[in-house]
Amino acid sequence: MNNGSLLQNSFYSVIYRLLNIVFPFITSVYVARVLMADSIGRVAAAQNFVSYFTLLAGMGIPTYGVKIIAQYTLRSRELSEAFSELFVINFILSALCGAVYYLLIFTMPFFEEKHLLYAVCGLNIVFNIFNVDWFYQGIQEYRYIAVRSFIFKCLSLVALILFVRNPQDYVAYALISSCALVGNYIFNMLRIARYTTITLNGLSFSEHLRQISALFLAGIASEIYVLADTTMLDILCGSSIVGYYTMSMRVMRVIRGLVIAISAVFLPQMSYYYYNGQVEKFHSLINKGIHILTVLTVPAAVGLILVADEAVVLFYGKSFSDSILTTEILAVSIITVAFSNFIGLQVFVTIGKNKLTTISTACGAITNIGLNFLLIRPYQHVGAAIASVITEGVVTLVQLILARKYIKFKFPWKNVSIATGCMMVCVLVIKTIEMPLVLHLLLECGMGALTFFFVLVMMKDDYTLNVYKTLRNHIR
């Protein structure tokens, strides 16, 4: 099924990804100065707890649904049956998870005096029964998805500015965040009749349940260690510490998200080469991806370590200075997350070795939980950051070891190391010059990036030279 051209769909898909990266960062800059660390930590802890239930409610449907829906034509009986079957499964799972969630928060002593906040955040679970984004992705309605997402994100941003004015407004912040998501879900259902109908006749669930169960087991390992650090920080350290860690992670997600969005373009072409037996081109494309990721992530990680002290204060204010060291530590994971995403979700998926991704993420989950127990109590959010970086390193290392049987990777360490060293000298020199903070940060990032790029060009790095020649031709 193909609505619109591939180029158009790709454009709106990238726009949608960028919206999910940029808007949370913009809102975090605002709420950091209004809510402060303790209130942000309370909301982050509640949203993190809700994520366990939405993970259970989704049970692999968001991934599986796209694949299934894409097989059928609009308005067909087969599409109606497939959509109805998955919708019913999602409805039942979401309803059950929602019931268990609200039973827990209103009966367990841990949630006393937190009922309202957790009840508001729990709306994400209840309204997950209408979460059919997978349907719109399956029929490739990327333009609609991007436009709808942009509208609701703008509305939520306006609502934040109007209704979140002081640290006591953290419940309003949580409600606005939930309503933005719920609005997407409801709007999706209001438009569903344009493409298909819901039927309860002749439905079969067994094959769907078998498939989504396998996907759920594969995905839960990676999600657990992403959620575990915030959960343990909340239990062992309190809301303020969660707030410092949350804001550091939001900086990481912006950079990680941009890199992952860039690397995602390799998957379709890799799949084409692999399934058409063009082995040499397949391996060449993989190493091109490795090369580009190295060139992007190493200077990004090192650069963030160098400017974190200024960036955190500029974006979040001096009250979040405790997030600086955490941000510097987490910067290392920009490199490892990019490579693990590329190898695990692109290379392994292409060659049909999804189990290898499950193995690596399971190793990461075990490592993360163990290290969090050891490091969070004595070192708080710094300990959680160290655990996260080591975990991502373990996942990447395991994937590289498992992949050696199928792929021979080539990393451009020499060129990148020299260029990064020159960039570091440039940034450190600029840091010694007195000037306004905004100008300082812009100059450090701009001159650092130009220095890195210029050195790679001088060293005749193949892919960087291609970029340079392309830019030069466009300028002419």
Contacts 24+ apart (CB under 8 A), 188-197: 188/130, 188/131, 188/132, 188/133, 188/135, 188/136, 188/148, 189/130, 189/132, 191/144, 192/132, 192/135, 195/74, 195/75, 195/79, 195/135, 195/139, 196/74, 196/75, 196/79, 196/80, 196/83, 196/135, 197/80
pTM, rounded to two decimals: 0.84
Q: Which of helix, strand or coil describes residue 59?
A: coil
> Is residue 228 within 8 Å of residue 372, measured between CB atoms?
yes
- By three-state DSSP, how is residue 238 classified? coil
Print pLDDT tens along the chain (476 aa).
545 555 566 677 777 777 877 888 889 999 999 999 999 999 999 999 999 999 899 888 887 887 788 778 777 888 898 899 999 999 999 999 999 999 999 999 888 889 999 999 999 999 999 999 989 888 878 888 889 999 999 999 999 999 999 999 999 999 999 999 999 999 999 999 889 888 888 788 888 888 787 667 666 766 777 788 999 999 999 899 999 999 998 888 888 877 776 666 666 677 678 878 888 888 888 888 899 899 999 999 999 999 999 999 999 999 999 999 999 999 999 999 999 988 987 788 778 787 888 888 889 889 999 999 999 999 999 999 999 999 999 999 999 999 988 888 888 889 999 999 999 999 999 999 999 999 999 999 999 999 999 999 999 888 788 777 766 765 55
Q: Do residues 305 and 362 make contact, with C-beta atoms less than 8 angstroms apart? A: no
With CA atoms as reference, report the closest residue to 153 among 293, 27, 294: 27
Pair 76, 197: CB distance under 8 Å: no
Nearest Cα to 445, choosing from 430, 435, 458, 464?
Answer: 430
Cβ-contact 132, 192 below 8 angstroms: yes
Length of the chain: 476
Virtual torsion, Cα 231, 121, 322, 334, nearest 10 deg: 70
Distance CA 334, CA 341 (A): 11
Task: Measure Cα distances from 127 to 94, 123, 179, 381 in Å.
Answer: 8, 6, 10, 32
User: Which of 123, 117, 125, 124 has the alpha carbon at shortest distance from 46?
Assistant: 117
Take residue 357 and report the two structure tokens written for it.
């991704």
Residue from 79, 91, 65 nearest 195 by CA: 79
pLDDT reported for residue 260: 74
Q: What secondary structure does DSSP assign to 265-298, as a single string?
A: THHHHHHHHHHTT-HHHHHHHHHHHHHHHHHHHH
CA proximity to 339, closest of 404, 418, 414, 256: 256
Is-contact 418 459, C-beta < 8 A? yes
Structure tokens at 89: 């499964």
d(CA 32, CA 322): 13
**Shortest CA distance to 390 belongs to which of 401, 375, 379, 377?**
375
The token duo for 2 is: 């193909």
3-class SS of residue 33 = helix
For residues 339 and 287, give the distance between their C-alpha atoms in angstroms, rounded to a whole number. Answer: 12
Q: Is 278 left (phi over 0), alpha (psi -120 to 50) or beta?
A: beta
What is the DSSP code (8-state) at residue 344?
I
- pLDDT of the residue at 227: 85
Distance in angstroms (rounded) separating the CA atoms of residues 290 and 343: 9
Identify residue 462 by its one-letter amino acid code: D
Of 336, 331, 334, 333, the C-alpha closest to 400 is 336
**Torsion on CA atoms 467, 472, 474, 476, rounded to nearest 10:** -170
DSSP-derived secondary structure letter, 252:
H
For residue 153 the two structure tokens come to 């994100």
Rounded CA separation 23/461 (Å): 35
Which residues, including other chains, have CB under 8 Å from residue 453's CB and lie 6 or more apart? 419, 464, 468
DSSP designation for 347: I
Structural contact between residues 380 and 417, judged by C-beta atoms closer than 8 angstroms: no
Q: In this structure, are residues 306 and 298 in contact, taking their beta carbons and an 8 Å threshold?
A: no
d(CA 152, CA 144): 12
Cα 389 to Cα 376: distance, rounded to the nearest angstrom: 13
